[in-house]
């Protein structure tokens, strides 16, 4: 079972034949400009986002935070309620082969992140570089991080080592930019992923993916790089941007084949060499449209980016046209592909209709795509909320939905989602855990978006049938919910909330005493 490692464990794992790492030429960092704001371990986490942000800017992170504000714009809410954003970057690193990940942050944060990572199936250890008030403000924490990086890289087991600063080290200005770029051929990637700078864990995936693409692009510009394990595709490939159900890239490959194209790597990738193949694609399909840092790297490499995804009949038709234009495919070839591919999708939608009102919300980034498929399948979808921001690559989906009367809310808060649930009284609520909980308490069937919707195929004919099956089955449970609600009505509320007026032990003692006073013959 994977476990977290501290700095002592990392030192102990160094191979005996290795010499201690040579000292770096970079000077030790200066103490934070405002140490009183974040000096005590753990206390800085609760100092408020404004306080932490001010401390980080004073410590030299103003450019990084400004980049995050441009890439991941807030509004209408500052930050949706969700899990720690750093989990997204951690998950990307843990899913890559020959990649080690080290966390630098408060112990409570590291515990929560590693627990969540292992809960979601991480099968490798997470490195941890601890700190206290003294090591944080004197710069010793940076020295500990640098030594840990040397220890991990020197083991000869990795292509890359990722170091993630959490809130307190970021606010204190721990300068990961001063880490060496490589050690014995092992790439070193240092990123800051504070909760006060990156709004959601979905966007934190882009922080690391973008940093890796930037590194890989510079490597490719300097000379030859490793080819994909299966070799380069004989046809021009389309890079797929955004995590998706494993079957979807296969389906997309089938949709691209009539255009003379192939599906390329999915970013975030599963190993380093796939980054080169991703940058080598003829175009990029922004399946998840919020990967701003990654898109910046693709555009720097001269790759066109196409928004939306081949979801449903209309979405597939528009996407094929967009990909064809981006890859210089002849219009008659695109028309022939549409004539071949669209009828089966239309037939699958017609064979699996959805009848009912559905509200939808989530924080994965594919919420608008799911809503499009629901609408085409016949569902009434009055509201879609997503924790992700509005971007140029989400515009096709927003425009299509709003033209059909769907209210689309970017950076939606829990309050937005619950208000929609109350206002529209849907037959089914698809959303985050608290939305699902509120819906079920009211007797409304509900599905958790992350585990039950985004973990299903969406593309092509397979997506239509799969989604309709789970949605219709859930809506068919309304009577069961009503029966359960009636059975448990009042439990846990009011006088039945578990607050006793007298001690139960006292009542039991009185009953026993009275029984002892009765003659034996009178006892039942």
- Give the pTM: 0.83
What is the pairing mode between strands 283-285 and 262-267?
Answer: unpaired
In order of 80, 365, 470, the CA distances from 417 in angstroms are 11, 15, 21
Report the C-alpha gap between 149 and 159 in whole angstroms: 13
Residue pair 360/449 in contact by the 8 Å Cβ criterion: yes
Omega before 268 within 30 of 0, i.e. cis: yes
> Which of 126, 120, 118, 164 lies closest to 145, judged by CA?
164
pLDDT by residue for the chain (524 residues), tens only, comes to: 333 333 333 334 333 333 333 334 444 444 444 444 454 444 455 567 888 888 888 888 899 999 999 999 887 766 767 788 999 999 999 999 999 999 999 999 999 999 988 887 787 889 999 998 899 888 999 999 999 999 999 888 999 999 999 999 999 999 999 999 999 999 999 999 998 999 999 999 999 999 999 999 999 999 999 988 888 888 999 999 999 888 899 999 999 999 999 999 999 999 999 999 999 999 999 999 999 999 999 999 999 999 999 999 999 999 999 999 999 999 999 999 999 999 999 999 999 999 999 999 999 889 999 999 999 999 999 999 999 999 999 999 999 999 999 999 999 999 999 999 999 999 999 999 999 999 988 889 999 998 888 878 899 888 888 888 899 999 887 777 667 666 666 666 666 666 666 665 544 444 445 555 555 444 33
Question: Is 163 in contact with 183 (CB distance < 8 Å)?
Answer: no
Q: How many helices (H) and strands (E) does the chain have?
A: 22, 15
Q: Which of 183, 156, 193, 216 is nearest to 52 (CA)?
A: 193
Backbone angles phi, psi at 83, to 5 degrees: -70, 170
What are the beta bridge partners of residue 262? 237
Cβ atoms of residues 410 and 383 within 8 Å: no
Pairing of strands 99-104, 182-183: unpaired
CA distance linking residue 141 with residue 138, whole number of Å: 8
Q: Which residues of 212-232 are buried (b: 16+ CB within 10 A; e: fewer)?
A: bbbbbbebeeeeebeebeeee
Cα separation of the two ends of the chain? 57
Q: What does each C-alpha distance from 489 to 439, 484, 501 come to in angstroms?
A: 15, 8, 21
Q: What number of CA atoms fall less than 13 Å from residue 61's CA on the CB side? A: 31
238: DSSP letter: E
Nearest-angstrom CA–CA distance, 191 and 222:
23
| Total residue count of the chain as it appears in this document | 524
Nearest to 400 by CA among 310, 326, 291, 314: 314
Whole-number Å distance between alpha carbons of 253 and 247: 10
* Distance in angstroms (rounded) separating the CA atoms of residues 272 and 160: 8
Mind spelling out the 3-state secondary structure of 9-20? HHHHCCCCCCCC
Tokens (6 digits) for 230: 């299966």
Q: How far apart are CA 200 and CA 519, in angstroms?
A: 71
215: tokens are 């590194």
């Amino acid at each position: 079972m994977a476990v977290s490692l501290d700095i002592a464990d990392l030192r102990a794992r160094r191979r005996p034949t290795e010499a201690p790492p040579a000292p770096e030429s970079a000077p030790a960092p200066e103490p934070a400009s405002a140490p009183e704001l974040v000096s005590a371990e753990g206390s800085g986490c609760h100092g408020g986002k404004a306080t932490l942000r001010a401390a980080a800017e004073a410590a030299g992170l103003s450019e990084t935070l400004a980049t995050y504000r441009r890439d991941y714009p807030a509004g209408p809410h500052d930050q949706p309620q969700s899990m720690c954003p750093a989990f997204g970057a951690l998950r990307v690193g843990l899913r890559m082969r020959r990649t080690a990940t080290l966390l630098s942050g408060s112990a409570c944060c590291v515990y929560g992140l590693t627990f969540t990572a292992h809960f979601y199936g991480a099968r490798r250890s997470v490195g941890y570089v601890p700190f206290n008030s003294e090591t944080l403000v004197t710069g010793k924490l940076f020295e500990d991080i640098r030594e840990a990086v040397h220890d991990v890289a020197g083991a000869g087991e990795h292509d890359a080592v990722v170091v993630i600063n959490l809130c307190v080290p970021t606010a204190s200005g721990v300068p990961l930019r001063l880490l060496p770029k490589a050690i014995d051929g092992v790439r070193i990637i240092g990123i800051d992923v504070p909760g006060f700078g990156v709004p959601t864990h979905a966007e934190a995936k882009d922080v690391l993916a973008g940093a890796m693409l930037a590194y890989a692009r510079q490597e490719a510009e300097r000379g030859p790089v490793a080819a994909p394990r299966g070799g380069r595709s004989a046809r021009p490939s389309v890079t797929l941007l955004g995590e998706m159900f494993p079957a979807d890239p296969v389906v997309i490959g089938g949709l691209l084949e009539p255009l003379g194209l192939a599906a390329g790597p999915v970013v975030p990738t599963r190993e380093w060499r796939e980054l080169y193949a991703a940058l080598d694609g003829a175009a990029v399909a922004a399946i998840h449209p919020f990967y701003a840092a990654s898109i910046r790297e693709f555009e720097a490499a001269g790759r066109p980016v196409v928004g939306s995804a081949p979801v449903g009949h209309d979405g597939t038709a528009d996407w094929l046209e967009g990909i064809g234009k981006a890859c210089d495919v002849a219009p008659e070839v695109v028309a022939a592909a549409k004539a071949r591919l669209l009828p089966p999708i239309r037939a699958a939608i017609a064979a699996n209709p959805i009848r009912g009102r559905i509200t939808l919300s989530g924080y994965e980034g594919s919420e608008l795509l799911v809503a499009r498929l629901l609408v085409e399948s016949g569902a009434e979808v009055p509201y879609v909320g997503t924790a992700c921001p509005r971007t140029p690559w989400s515009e096709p989906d927003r425009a299509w939905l709003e033209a059909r009367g769907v209210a689309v809310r970017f950076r939606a808060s829990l309050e937005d989602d619950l208000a929609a649930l109350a206002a529209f009284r849907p037959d089914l609520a698809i959303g985050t855990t608290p939305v699902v909980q509120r819906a079920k308490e009211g007797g409304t069937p509900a599905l958790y978006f992350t585990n039950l919707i985004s973990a299903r195929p969406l593309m092509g004919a397979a997506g239509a049938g799969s989604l309709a099956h789970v949605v219709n089955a859930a809506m068919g449970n309304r009577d069961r919910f009503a029966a359960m609600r009636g059975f448990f009505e009042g439990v846990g509320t009011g006088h039945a909330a578990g607050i006793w007026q007298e001690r139960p032990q006292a009542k039991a003692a009185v009953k026993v005493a009275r029984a002892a006073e009765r003659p034996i013959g009178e006892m039942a």
